[in-house]
Amino acid sequence: MDACAALGAKFELWRTLQLDPEGCPVRGLLDKLGDRWSTLLICSLAAGPKRFSALHRQIPDISKRMLTQTLRTLEADGLVHRDVQPTVPPSVTYSLTPLGRSFAGPLLGLVEWAETHYPAVLETRAETKRAA
């Protein structure tokens, strides 16, 4: 059975379970990880633990608000560990948990697919635009 058939089979199974978010991992997890910043932060932290301001410098176009919020969500989901040193000024270091690191494999697969096929997608988009 190829990946395509396997995916279809899984979908059929979820469907019989009403596709509710609690029971469907795709909806429960990918909804969260699918936002603009989560995956990017995981990629950044995959290179090693980083402090809040270091993360902010690496991804300049995220606001402090969204950086905080996204990190907290990832922490609540158990993918990221937040280490607070009670010094003055405070120093907070973020790192991937074992669970977060275990996510690197599947994510890398996705990223490699994206790198490989992104040119083709851009080409298709351009054609669609010309046709319109």
Partner DNA sequence: CAGAATCCCTGTCGATACTG
Partner DNA sequence: CAGTATCGACAGGGATTCTG
Site residues, a copy of itself (CB under 8 A)? 2-12, 15, 19, 25-31, 33-36, 39-40, 42-48, 58-61, 75-79, 96, 99, 101-115, 117-118, 120-125, 128
Residue 111 near which of DNA, a copy of itself, none (CB within 5-8 Å, type-dependent) = a copy of itself
When the beta carbons of 72 and 112 are compared against DNA, the nearer one is 72
Structure tokens at 129: 């635009």
b/e 93-114 (16+ beta carbons within 10 angstroms → b): ebebbeebeebeeeeeeeeeee
Q: Which is nearer to DNA, 5 or 84 (CB)?
A: 84
Which of 27, 51, 81, 101 contacts DNA by CB under 7 A? 51
Tell me how far apart the alpha carbons of residues 131 and 96 are, in angstroms, rounded to a whole number. 45
Q: Is 35 in the site for DNA (CB under 7 A)?
A: yes
The CA-atom distances, in angstroms, between 15 and each of 9, 12, 23 are 10, 5, 10
